[in-house]
Amino acid sequence: MSYDVVIIGAGAAGLMCALQAGSRTKKVLLLDHMPKVGSKILISGGGRCNFTNIHTTPANFVSENEHFAKSALSRFSPQDFIEILKKYNVPFHEKKLGQLFCDTSAREVVRVLLAECEKYRVEIKLNETVRGLKQVDSDEGYRFEVTTSSKILAKSVVVATGGLSLPKIGASNFGYKIAEQFGLKVVPTRPALDGFTLTDPAYQKIKDLSGASLDCVLTCNGQSFRENILFTHKGISGPAALQGSLYWKEKTRVFINLLPDIQLKELLLEAKKKNPQTNLLKILSQYLPQRFIEAFSSSFLNYSEQISLPFAQVSEKILLDWSTTLHAWSVLPSGTVGYAKAEVTRGGVCTSELSSKNMESRKIPGLYFIGEVVDVTGWLGGFNFQWAWASAWAAAQSV
């Protein structure tokens, strides 16, 4: 029971690292505590896996060290992953904003990764719980003993156990515990790409809009996203809110421009001059659902009676208030939705502990961390898988 490399976690990063190390003729063992590989790949992208984003740049990632991901991302690009899928004739398409999805099923991605692992004789053991990991001395270069139901010697160990969301399908804190066991810093974790909860009663009317969706620009901590928001019975979801939640910190406000394509102030003042018989409801209904305007006016502007008055009877100040509020609706979330819905975990093994070239621990030679367990978190849209592939490739060149 001895291997060049033992990889713990057969998700996106673990599978990619296994096949790449295997292609370098390494003897590889890939372990997972669940009965199947790639569970998150299978449920990702609504079952079609948004497996990469062709516009990936380091700016699409959040980390305490914004430079850390640059090296790995530059050496294994979206095109490199596309080439692997093409070898197996997997059909795919761009949905929007550079996001690539399988035409048929996410199962295609797992099929390809498994076929490559098989080609390079990677051994895969499932339902295998790792009970311990320790450093050992050996004349043959084995640096670790991995305890499962048996004792396994490894020259290198790669931790690819992912983040904390969806424990039902295998997520665990194992990677962080291993980092701590070896004295490596872990950046505090929190759910991300999960949207916002609104518990303040002031938002009750807005939550009644559950199911409605709006195109907007959402800004959170200086980062803006132009996509839809979706009102839910808990708060705000939809792609723009998911992206914003990646940047959110306790007690910070989120600003939502609900009319990103028009200049409402100019439009209203002009209408007041030229058409004093028109009213707010008529004008805003051209751009926003009436249901939303009514809920919004009674919740936030306290001007609900003004929305159907002719402009001749509405002051400029009120029109300016509407304009300011609709262009920068200021929302104070009570939190983000949590791990049950989060697509990723922010934080993780601190990048200052790892080499950006190969993901190896600076303190413990031969110990590697890849994928989501590392403090590198991507935007929604295929970036997290691209990080999993790229960090896995980088480690595989070195194990």
Query: Which residues contribute to the site for ligand FDA (CB under 6 A)?
Result: 8-14, 31-34, 39-40, 43-45, 49-50, 130, 160-162, 165-166, 170, 172, 174, 343-344, 371-373, 382-385, 388
- Which CB sits closer to ligand FDA, 29 or 264? 29
Smallest distance, Å, CB 100 to ligand FDA?
A: 9
Residue whose CB is nearest to ligand FDA in the complex, by number: 11
CA gap 14, 8 in Å, rounded? 7
Tokens representing residue 6 in the block: 């033992």
Rounded Cα distance between 230 and 213, Å, is: 4
Cβ atoms 145, 136 nearer than 8 A: yes
Minimum distance of ligand FDA from residue 90's CB (angstroms): 15
Residue 196 CB, shortest distance to ligand FDA, in Å, is 18
Give the C-alpha separation, 164 to 171, whole Å: 5
Please report, for residues 106, 226, 230, 242, the alpha-carbon distance to residue 223 in angstroms, rounded to integers and kept in the order given.
30, 10, 19, 12
Please state whether 387 falls in left (phi above 0), alpha (psi between -120 and 50) or beta.
alpha
Query: Least distance from C-beta 159 to ligand FDA, angstroms?
Result: 9
Sheet strands (E) in 169-246: 186-192, 196-197, 213-220, 223-231, 235-237
Please, which residue, 319 or 392, has the CB nearer to ligand FDA?
392
Residue of 377, 348, 335, 375 lying closest to 250 (CA atoms): 335
**Minimum gap (Å) between residue 78 Cβ and ligand FDA:** 11
Minimum Å gap between C-beta 277 and ligand FDA is 50
Q: How far is the CB of 36 from ligand FDA (least distance, A)?
A: 8
* Closer CB to ligand FDA, 44 or 197, in the complex: 44
Query: What end-to-end distance do the CA atoms of the chain give, in Å?
Result: 18
The two three-digit tokens of residue 91, written as one number: 């059909």
Residue 109: CB minimum distance to ligand FDA, A: 10
- Closer residue to ligand FDA (CB): 325 or 384: 384
- Virtual CA dihedral for 282, 253, 232, 214, nearest 10 degrees? 40
Nearest to ligand FDA of 100, 198 (CB atom)? 100
Residue among 160 and 184 whose Cβ is closer to ligand FDA: 160
Sign of CA dihedral 193, 198, 203, 205: positive
Between vectors from CA 362 to CA 356 and to CA 366, what angle results, nearest 5°? 95
Closest distance of CB 266 from ligand FDA, Å: 40
Least distance between ligand FDA and beta carbon 117 (Å): 14
Q: Which is nearer to ligand FDA, 130 or 157 (CB)?
A: 130
Q: Is 243 exposed, middle or buried (0-12, 13-18, 19+ CB in 10 A)?
A: buried
Per the CB < 8 A criterion, the answer to whether 312 and 277 are in contact is yes
Which DSSP helix (H) or strand (E) runs through 179? Answer: helix 174-181
Q: Smaller CB distance to ligand FDA: residue 227 or 297?
A: 227
Choice between 166 and 301, CB closer to ligand FDA: 166
Region label for 221, one of left (φ > 0), alpha (ψ between -120 and 50) or beta (otherwise):
left
Length of the chain: 399
Nearer to ligand FDA, 39 or 323 (CB): 39
